[in-house]
A = this chain, B = another copy of it.
Amino acid sequence: MNIINFHGQKYLAKDFIEFLRGKNALFLLSLSTTKTCEIPNITQAGIEGKIHLTPILDAEFLCSGEVRSIGDIAKTAKGVPTPALITRAIHLLKPFNNIELLNLGLTNSPKVNFFKIYDFKLKPSERIDLGANIEAETLFEMGVEFGKNYKTKSDYIILGESVPSGTTTAYATAKALGYNCDGMFSSSFKAHPKSLKNEVVNKALSNISSNMDIFEKLSKVSDNMLIFNAGFVMALMQNYKVVLAGGTQMASLLLVMNSIIEVMQGEIDGKNLALVTTKWLYEDENSDIKGLLELLNFDVLAYYSDFDFSDSQSEVLKLYDKGEAKEGVGAGGAIFYGYLNNLTKEQITKEVEGFFK
């Protein structure tokens, strides 16, 4: 099997993917900008000085195959292209039933027609070292409300994200909620800028205190994607099977859900929920997705898609195998969907290579 289960009950994990075999999926891409990404060297997910455009460009490329809000596709300083390429390749080979976009605070709206963009009239959140300034409780409730009313004809939902510097805010978020998660969060860099990241996170944590409630804490240290989606997913999974397509940011989202439900003295039945990531993220030595999931008080299934660029001749793509860029724009979840619809590693590799011709 090219989809590898690494967390959750064995039979349940097997049957979850068997049940989704061949089924159609809605791909929902949640987009947001935290000004944390403006801190020099905090992320390589984009073009320096224009990193706030990354989610916009990712959305444009995923939907249309073109980047419209700037001349070139979002890539890192070393030239590692966005994982949106992988998600787009899957969509070309075996189209998602639909792609929809959640605008959770961007500088501009993605320039695409016809594709539904849910606009929640949010601004990019502030740098977490300066206090983020998010109305967390309202935002969480917006997510719940949206999830309750959300309808799709698709068999299941894949929820991805594009949030530059999102691993930093995800780390700060989990830590602020009291989880022992040092060293467990990923980075878009191979050479992990740990000291800088730790400095930013510690600065962020200095703005919270133990007498704050959970939403007050989130307001100071988190990002819009995590807070909105916590509410959204909790409501959505009552009605649909949901694949959280991402790495440590999605794990942080689960931890936010875990903490909120604890405060509310409720329970989460994770049966309709799975996290799916890439092999690069799963095997990353500088983060620990498995460890993060073990911090949860509820059961959740998790998998990685067994895909890499070992079959490719492309030097640019090989950078993925070397640990630069690992996950994003739901790449791991997209491959999962592709594999469940009989796409092969060879086909996917070829399709991604096609973007460079």
Known: A18-B63, A18-B65. A11 touches B111 (CB 8 A): yes
CB distance from A307 to the nearest CB of B (A): 19
In the complex, what distance in Å separates the CA atom of A111 from the CA atom of B341? 24
Known: A16-B114, A19-B114. A11 touches B68 (CB 8 A): yes
At the interface, is chain A mostly helix, strand, loop or mixed?
Answer: loop
CB distance from A132 to the nearest CB of B (A): 34
Please indicate the chain B residues that have their CB under 8 angstroms from the CB of A123 in the complex: none
Interface residue ranges of A138-183 to B (CB < 8 Å) = 153
Question: Which residue of B19, B63, B93 is within 8 Å of A15 (Cβ)?
Answer: B63
Please indicate the chain B residues that have their CB under 8 angstroms from the CB of A65 in the complex: 18
In the complex, what distance in Å separates the CA atom of A19 from the CA atom of B95? 10
Please indicate the chain B residues that have their CB under 8 angstroms from the CB of A341 in the complex: 95
Please state if A22 and B342 are interface contacts (CB–CB under 8 Å).
no
Please state if A22 and B94 are interface contacts (CB–CB under 8 Å).
yes
Please state if A91 and B15 are interface contacts (CB–CB under 8 Å).
no
In the complex, what distance in Å separates the CA atom of A68 from the CA atom of B10? 12
Per CB-CB distance, the 9 closest pairs between chain A and chain B, nearest first, are A22-B95, A19-B114, A15-B113, A21-B95, A18-B64, A15-B114, A12-B113, A15-B112, A15-B64
Please indicate the chain B residues that have their CB under 8 angstroms from the CB of A63 in the complex: 15, 18-19
Which residues of A are at the interface with B, using a C-beta cutoff of 8 A?
11-12, 14-16, 18-19, 21-23, 63-66, 68, 91-98, 111-115, 153, 271, 341-342
> Would you give 10 A-B contacts (Cβ < 8 Å), ordered by A?
A11-B68, A11-B113, A12-B113, A14-B64, A15-B112, A15-B113, A16-B114, A18-B64, A18-B115, A22-B96
Q: How many copies does the complex hold?
A: 2
CB distance from A91 to the nearest CB of B (A): 7
CB distance from A50 to the nearest CB of B (A): 21
Query: A11-B64, A22-B95, A93-B342 known; 12 other A-B pairs, CB under 8 Å?
Result: A12-B113, A14-B64, A14-B66, A15-B63, A15-B114, A15-B115, A18-B114, A18-B115, A21-B92, A22-B91, A22-B94, A23-B98
In the complex, what distance in Å separates the CA atom of A133 from the CA atom of B309? 63
Please indicate the chain B residues that have their CB under 8 angstroms from the CB of A95 in the complex: 21-23, 341
Please indicate the chain B residues that have their CB under 8 angstroms from the CB of A93 in the complex: 342
In the complex, what distance in Å separates the CA atom of A11 from the CA atom of B60? 11
In the complex, what distance in Å separates the CA atom of A114 from the CA atom of B271? 9
Question: Which residue of B16, B23, B97, B153 is within 8 Å of A113 (Cβ)?
Answer: B16
In the complex, what distance in Å separates the CA atom of A19 from the CA atom of B14? 33
Please indicate the chain B residues that have their CB under 8 angstroms from the CB of A22 in the complex: 91, 94-97
CB distance from A26 to the nearest CB of B (A): 12
In the complex, what distance in Å separates the CA atom of A222 from the CA atom of B320? 62
CB distance from A66 to the nearest CB of B (A): 7
CB distance from A210 to the nearest CB of B (A): 41
Residue of B nearest to A62 (CB): B18
In the complex, what distance in Å separates the CA atom of A93 from the CA atom of B92? 18
In the complex, what distance in Å separates the CA atom of A92 from the CA atom of B342? 8
